[in-house]
Amino acid sequence: MVSCNIRCQPLLDVRQNSRASGPRAAHQVASATGTAERPRADVAPGQVADWPQLAQDLDSKSPLEIIDHALATFGDEVAIAFSGAEDIAVIEYAHLTGRPFRVFSLDTGRLDKETYELFDRVEKHYSIQIEYTFPDAQETMDLVRAKGMFSFYEDGHQECCRVRKVRPLRRQLKTLKAWITGQRRDQSPGTRASVAVVEVDPAFEGTSGGPGSLVKYNPLAGMTGKETWNFLRVMDVPVNELHSKGYVSIGCQPCTRPVLPNQHEREGRWWWEDAGGKECGLHSGNVSAGSAEQDGEAGAERDLWPEGKVQALSREELSSLASAESRKQATMVVLYAPWCQFSQAMEESYNELAEQYAARGSDVRIAKFQADTDRQFSTKTFGLQTFPTLVMLPRSTSGYIKYPSERRDVETLDLWIKSVAGR
């Protein structure tokens, strides 16, 4: 277990003296010890608490309170996953609780020099030792010998991430009862919009093994990027030097690049791939309750957008629109799967978009097509790779335009439609 015995104070003293600011900053905590009735950590997590209810109870709490709950509940059997980017905020909050805490990091062997330098500075700043986890040497060697150093540019990042990140993470988590991540809902509106502040991990297993054996805390889920950076600046903590060079979301060196003004932060990751698939597998619970290495089509019981202004298109209607040389109106279509949480996450915003266009009398139609029922058609016609995929069928022209961004909020979708449809 790693302790933070240099700068720590008891939690109540920290609250009185914290200089942090912002709506979720440390000094606003009222009672970190009274957030919820804590389950016993010596019993399987799925049996000791109503975790969905606890998630609701903690959702309005500060990150400090949420992390304090995790550390008080699980002690040295919970650890912080640190990737070298904004996860430093999680470490700082853990430090502010005054409790001992553990930190682990996945060293994929492909990280930037600046990331390794940050690891060293963090260890010295908090007087801790990060527990490094590495990919299996033989498995990594077999992959590189068979496919080369940069196979992910040709066949997608999933295989490399599975070898260098997912499987090492799986081994690490098997030694824990809970883990703490730095996920935020605004990091990727298409894939992380519904991240809970605490949940029974649907994808990975803990010490006791089996479903429900691991709890996952996401204490920054409700924070925005602006709030997080305000906290980091005020607390004057070490940050990755790559942030000053235009990098926002930081991963492995070959798969990360700076983002341009007004680009979403996740667009700097795996930029050569379709925007909808940018989850490396570490948080595959965001996608489904199934395996981290399967997309689990055993589906939801209800369809998406069953009512409202989003128009359902049959295959025949969509095929006719796709092949038309000229169209009477522009049509925005989401190719979705009702079981896919990426698709579920955009249900509210897409429905609101359709209502706005209907209210203003626009001739742009907002539509949907359940593409998992006919993937071959969707792939051949629209290049479907992941769910959801958004395409525009412009008015008075042939072909289609694929929506390239991970941002699926109403404002961004509206701006994009206006830029390509002129309405």
Q: Is 366 helix (H, G, I), strand (E, B) or coil?
A: strand
| CATH code, 37 | 3.40.50.620
Do both 220 and 319 map to the same domain?
A: no
Give the domain-ending residue among 252, 286, 320. Answer: 286
Are 47 and 176 within one domain?
yes
Give which of 106, 105, 109 is closest to 144, Cα–Cα.
109
Same domain, 42 and 98: yes
The residue ranges of DSSP E strands in 99-158, in sequence order, are 103-106, 131-133
As given in the structure block, the two tokens for residue 373 are 């029922």
Instruction: Assign 257 to helix, strand or coil.
Output: coil
143 contacts 159 by C-beta, under 8 angstroms: yes
Query: Between 88-97 and 225-235, two packed helices, what is the crossing angle to 10 degrees?
Result: 60
Element (H or E) spanning 144, and its range? Answer: helix 137-147
The token duo for 360 is: 């203003």
For residue 298, being part of any structural domain is answered with: no
Residues 195 and 320 occupy one common structural domain: no
pLDDT at 161: 87
Q: Are residues 356 and 253 in the same domain?
A: no
Which tokens belong to 358? 């209907």
Whether 150 and 230 share a structural domain? yes
Are residue 67 and residue 137 in the same domain, yes or no?
yes
Q: Which run of H or E residues covers position 351?
A: helix 347-359
| pLDDT tens over the chain, length 423 residues | 443 433 333 343 333 333 333 333 333 333 333 334 444 444 445 445 688 899 999 999 999 999 999 999 999 999 999 987 778 999 999 999 999 999 999 999 999 999 999 999 999 999 999 999 999 999 999 999 999 998 887 777 788 889 999 999 999 999 999 999 999 887 654 444 578 999 999 889 999 998 889 999 999 999 988 899 899 998 999 999 988 887 877 888 888 777 655 566 556 565 556 544 444 444 444 444 333 333 333 333 478 998 889 999 999 999 999 988 878 899 999 999 887 777 888 889 999 999 999 999 998 999 999 998 888 899 999 988 888 899 999 987 788 999 987 788 899 899 999 988 865
Closest CA to 200 of 45, 365, 381, 363: 45
3-state secondary structure of 334: strand
Task: Tell me whether residue 385 is in a domain.
Answer: yes
The pTM of this model reads 0.59
**Number of domains the chain is built from:** 2
In a domain, 2, yes or no: no
Whether the CB-CB separation of 311 and 368 falls below 8 Å is answered with yes
- Examine the fold and report which residue of 286, 321, 337 is the final residue of a domain before the chain moves on: 286
| DSSP strand pairing (331-336 vs 389-393) | antiparallel
Instruction: Check whether residue 221 and residue 351 sit in a common domain.
Output: no
Between CA 121 and CA 112 the distance in angstroms is: 15
Same domain, 245 and 112: yes
Whether residue 21 is found in the same domain as residue 166 = yes
**Sign, CA torsion 242/247/250/251:** negative
DSSP at 163: I
User: For residue 283, what are its two tokens?
Assistant: 């948080």
Whether 253 is covered by a domain: the verdict is yes
pLDDT of 49 reads 63
d(CA 351, CA 330): 17
Specify the pairing of strand 365-370 against strand 131-133.
unpaired
Instruction: Please check whether residue 305 lies inside any domain of the structure.
Output: no
Euclidean distance between CA atoms 53 and 266, whole angstroms: 30
Is the bond preceding residue 10 a cis peptide, omega within 30 degrees? no
Same domain, 150 and 233: yes
Q: Terminal CA-to-CA distance of the chain, rounded, Å?
A: 59
Among all residues, which ones are annotated catalytic?
Answer: 280
Instruction: Determine the Cα–Cα distance for residues 169 and 173; give it in Å rounded to an integer.
Output: 6
Question: What H or E segment, with its residue span, contains residue 126?
Answer: helix 113-126
Strands 215-217 and 198-200: antiparallel
From CA 25, how far away is CA 234, in angstroms rounded?
Answer: 10
Question: Is 402 inside any structural domain?
Answer: yes
Q: What kind and span of H or E run contains 228?
A: helix 225-235
Domain housing 332? 311-421
Give yes or no: residues 368 and 275 share one domain.
Answer: no
Q: What φ, ψ does residue 213 adopt, rounded to 5°?
A: -95, 0
Residue 65 lies in a domain: yes
